[in-house]
Amino acid sequence: MTYKDPRTLITFYVESDGRHIAAIDADGKLLWVRNPNNESRTNSPENQAGVIVRITQHPPPTSDFAAYLERHNFGADDKLLEITFASNFFGVLNERTGDFVLIGIN
């Protein structure tokens, strides 16, 4: 699965294990590779979020949500992606750093 963000021209590639995601800039340079499961509270056998099933652009956060994200080292101008897992866990990923914050479950 891939997603190219029209705002940044960064391509996000979900690796074949379905758990790692890589960011590649418009020139083909690898920016980072991360495993959102490892950064969320879902990384235990009973709470495994599973594989990534959807990547979408996340709108700019509201002021309250932005304040929450700042506590997780997200900057005010950072572009966000929403990541959804097969288990229906979802969260936001910082395009610049690959940092992930779990938001909830559907």
- The string of pLDDT tens digits covering residues 2-19 is 999 999 999 999 999 999
CA dist 80 and 98 (Å) reads 10
> In angstroms, how far is the first alpha carbon of the chain from the final one?
21
pLDDT per residue as tens digits for the range 40-68: 655 445 455 689 999 999 998 888 999 99
Question: What local confidence, expressed as pLDDT, does residue 46 receive?
Answer: 46
Measured in degrees and rounded to the nearest 5, phi and psi for residue 91 equal -165, -175
pLDDT of residue 104: 87
H-helix or E-strand containing 64? helix 63-70
Please report, for the chain, the start and end positions of each structural domain, with discontinuous segments joined by +. Answer: 2-105
pLDDT computed for residue 73 by the predictor: 86
